[in-house]
Amino acid sequence: MTGTALTEEKEFREIYGMDVIEIPTNVPVERKDLEDVVYKTQKEKFKAVCDEIEAAHKKHQPVLVGTITIETSELLSGMLKRRGIKHNVLNAKFHEMEAQIVAEAGVHDAVTIATNMAGRGTDIKLDDEARRAGGLKIIGTERHESRRIDNQLRGRSGRQGDPGESRFYISLEDDLMRLFGSERLMSVFTALGVEEGEQIQHKMLSNAIEKAQEKIESNNFGIRKNLLEYDQVMNEQREIIYEERRRVLDGENMRDSIFHMINDYVENTVDLLVAADQDYEDFDLAELNRTILQSVPMSPVTEADVRGMSQKELKHMLKERAAKAYEAKEAEFPEPEQLREIERVVLLKVIDAKWMAHIDDMDQLRQGIGLQAYGQRDPKIEYKMLGYDMFGEMTQGIAADTIRTLFHVRLEQKVEREQVAKVTGTNKDDTALKEPKKRADKKVYPNDPCPCGSGKKYKQCCGRK
């Protein structure tokens, strides 16, 4: 639930599939939203803002001044200090005092300067004298690119039926105005003979500014939608990888997955080296053996083995041999769970390493994919296709590295050297461990100091026993 989602209704509906419903306020809004006033320069604008603050302060009306940047809030603070107007500044530099400053913003005579991000979501309570003075006065020093942020600033006044008013002060030097037609407006100011410090105020001008905001919002919406479509490719891949990691971390039995990886590895290797319609006499057995045997220790494939075979039959034979080789590896472990735990550890490490490298590769692809437009290709479609191919290569790499590691793992048995020596009888030869000779204790004579430390002679102490 939010009070400013209506301006973003299109984005919520098109990207997130969510409808936005406006709920009427509990009490009618008494706030007066006045037309924007426009000045030629920022200097004129800030002077007019300070004049408005001073006028409201004289009649004890609380004022909340909204700024876009911390620099602007500090500039206005300096101008108000020179006029002797007591005020509070609420920005990121004073976040520890935020609650107290916001609580005091609705008290009569209070002047608060706040950045747009500060103090949001907090009801500003008015005292009785502030209500009689007209309620909280909102002054915006600049229009934001998003109407939603401007509405948030306005919405801090006139809550729960309280009185209040809001107005934005704009100059042709503001960022928003420079983006949309400030030169044209400047020529209008000049043609009308607008003097320094004089303002222009008209509903058409406010509407034009809102149209400019809508254009920027539409442009930003297009950028976010475009990024989301690109990120959706990575999100689908991320879900697949994270699901596999979850299974490993939950301690599931990964034996079936390992056998599936073995079959995939054999399939991919044969597809790479043997064509579907290739005659068995043309099989490159040397390269096939070199590639497969470096990962799967099994008997090499000979010409006699493949005589009369098609590619499909070759795959079937190699899958059976690879499966038997892994079953032999399982037999090396006294307890099956020992290998199951090793499978989980190895698989997790390989997945993490390959996934991190894949993220970097996809990021590089994303940065350069825009060049596809010069070749009359849709960059998003090309990104999806290339990303799919890269993901397939990554999963093949996970399978190859995992089974290569598992086939070459060994169960370490720590046996004491003495036990090995007893079984093999190696202590009879020169390499056996020899019992170290104990050094004889030094002989103590009757007149020597007693070793017990009593200070007496040995014959008069322990030697008498």
The rounded distance, in Å, linking the Cα atoms of 226 and 14 is 12
CATH topology of domain 236-407: Helical scaffold and wing domains of SecA (1.10.3060)
The rounded distance, in Å, linking the Cα atoms of 25 and 345 is 58
The rounded distance, in Å, linking the Cα atoms of 445 and 26 is 109
pTM exceeds cut of 0.75: no
Instruction: Name the β-bridge partners of 169.
Output: 37
Count of CB atoms situated within 10 Å of the CB of 139: 24
The rounded distance, in Å, linking the Cα atoms of 212 and 190 is 22
The rounded distance, in Å, linking the Cα atoms of 187 and 181 is 10
- Give, in order, the Cα–Cα distances in Å from 5 to each of 22, 63, 174, 215, 453: 9, 26, 25, 17, 92
- Domain residue ranges of the chain, discontinuous segments joined by +: 6-201, 236-407
- Residue 114's contacts (CB-CB under 8 Å, 6 or more residues apart) are 64, 65, 66, 67, 73, 89, 90, 91, 101, 105
The rounded distance, in Å, linking the Cα atoms of 141 and 45 is 8
Q: What is the pLDDT along the chain (465 residues), one digit of tens a residue?
A: 777 778 778 878 877 788 888 888 888 888 999 888 888 888 999 999 999 999 999 999 999 999 988 889 899 999 999 999 999 888 766 566 676 777 788 899 999 998 865 556 567 888 999 999 999 999 999 988 888 888 888 888 888 888 999 999 988 888 887 776 666 666 766 666 667 777 777 777 777 778 888 888 888 888 888 888 888 899 999 999 999 999 999 989 999 999 999 999 998 888 888 888 888 788 888 888 888 888 888 888 888 888 888 888 888 999 999 999 999 988 888 888 888 999 999 999 999 999 999 999 998 888 888 777 777 788 888 888 999 999 999 999 999 999 999 988 876 644 333 443 444 444 444 444 444 444 445 667 677 777 777 777 776 777 765
Q: Identify which of 124, 159, 155 has the alpha carbon closest to the alpha carbon of residue 140.
A: 155
CATH topology of domain 6-201: Rossmann fold (3.40.50)
Please name the amino acid found at residue 374.
Y
